[in-house]
């Protein structure tokens, strides 16, 4: 009996029927038969047929979208997922979220709805941010995340990477050009080489989790401005302030390599 109930709920869900409405069994089966073109009343058969049709619709849609960008379906799906990962790393800072878009050659490729929904009884007007990033297909194919910084490697050590600044209506995203050696970004190749060399050194002093560290300690270990700016922007930190090492470690894995080297 329980299995039958679950199958009916699954059919109702697949047909996008309002799950809050108590449809009669015969109504659900009738709608399923109409959708599939089958006369059977078998729950499993109907459910499998509905899912097969739905999966084909999704695949056809993805194939059509891929074709509009002159891509294979496989590449489209891979780049779409990559686009979502890029968008997740940026925020205008609005507490109610934002709509985020990536455009390929001025054509909208990916949208991520990060807005929050509120009950109708909510007193205040919902303020949402808007964020757009323009890339070429070549950029999207080659961009990679290097120590929190989304980077496009170019020839002879040159690179360009996405940096963001400001918050809310003053938020800005732009490509910055320079050099990337290993995992180190800098305006000049010499500075990028120096930073990469520093990454191989141990910290001059070890700190407890309760002690404060700042830019000086992180830069001694080869942290580049692009990475520092990205980390501070993501966690809403003030770049020139000191913070307890334990607190910085609690923010996640972004700066783990540096914070672990500084730990006692």
* pLDDT for the residue 123: 64
* pLDDT for the residue 20: 67
Q: Of 43, 38, 45, 33, give the one whose Cα is nearest residue 6.
A: 43
* pLDDT for the residue 118: 60
* pLDDT for the residue 212: 93
SS3 184: strand
Q: How many helices (H) and strands (E) does the chain have?
A: 10, 10
**264 residues of the chain, pLDDT tens digit each:** 558 888 888 888 888 887 666 778 888 889 899 999 999 988 899 999 999 999 999 999 999 999 999 999 999 999 999 999 999 999 888 878 889 999 998 899 999 998 876 655 556 666 778 889 999 999 999 999 998 899 999 999 999 999 988 888 888 889 999 999 999 999 999 999 999 999 888 888 899 999 999 999 999 999 999 998 888 888 888 888 899 999 999 987 778 888 888 987
Torsion of CA 253, 254, 255, 259, to 10 degrees: -10
| 208-242 burial code (b ≥16 CB/10 A, e <16) | eeebebeeebbebbbbbbbbbbbbebbeeeeeeee
Length of the chain: 264
* pLDDT for the residue 62: 95
- Would you kindly state where each structural domain of the chain is located, as residue ranges? 2-68, 72-142
* pLDDT for the residue 141: 97
* pLDDT for the residue 239: 87
Question: What do you get for the CA distance between the two ends of the chain, in Å?
Answer: 60
* pLDDT for the residue 117: 64
Tokens of 158: 């040159």
Cα–Cα distance measured from residue 108 to residue 83, given in angstroms and rounded to the nearest whole number: 11
* pLDDT for the residue 19: 65
Record the pTM: 0.81
């Amino acid at each position: 009996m329980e299995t039958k109930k679950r199958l009916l709920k699954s059919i109702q869900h697949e047909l996008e029927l309002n799950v809050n409405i108590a449809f009669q069994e015969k109504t659900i089966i009738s709608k399923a038969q109409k959708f599939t073109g089958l006369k059977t009343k078998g729950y499993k058969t109907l459910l499998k047929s509905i899912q097969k049709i739905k999966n084909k619709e999704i695949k056809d849609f993805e194939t059509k979208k891929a074709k509009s960008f002159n891509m294979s379906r496989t590449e489209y799906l891979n780049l779409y997922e990559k686009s979502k990962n890029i968008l997740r790393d940026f925020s205008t800072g609005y507490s109610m979220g934002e709509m985020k878009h990536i455009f390929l050659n001025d054509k909208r490729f990916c949208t991520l709805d990060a807005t929050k929904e509120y009950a109708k009884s909510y007193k205040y007007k919902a303020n949402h941010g808007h964020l757009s990033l323009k890339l070429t297909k070549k950029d999207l194919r080659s961009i990679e995340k290097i120590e929190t910084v989304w980077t496009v490697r170019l020839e002879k050590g040159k690179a360009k990477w996405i940096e963001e600044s400001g918050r809310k209506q003053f938020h800005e995203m732009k490509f910055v050009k320079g050099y990337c050696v290993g995992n180190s970004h800098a305006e000049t190749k010499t500075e990028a080489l120096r930073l990469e060399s520093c990454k191989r050194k141990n910290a001059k002093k070890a700190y407890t989790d309760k002690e404060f560290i700042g830019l000086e300690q992180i830069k001694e270990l080869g942290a580049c401005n692009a990475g520092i700016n990205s980390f501070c922007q993501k966690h809403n930190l003030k770049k020139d302030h000191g913070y307890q090492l334990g607190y910085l470690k609690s923010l996640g894995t972004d700066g783990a390599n540096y914070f672990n080297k500084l730990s006692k």
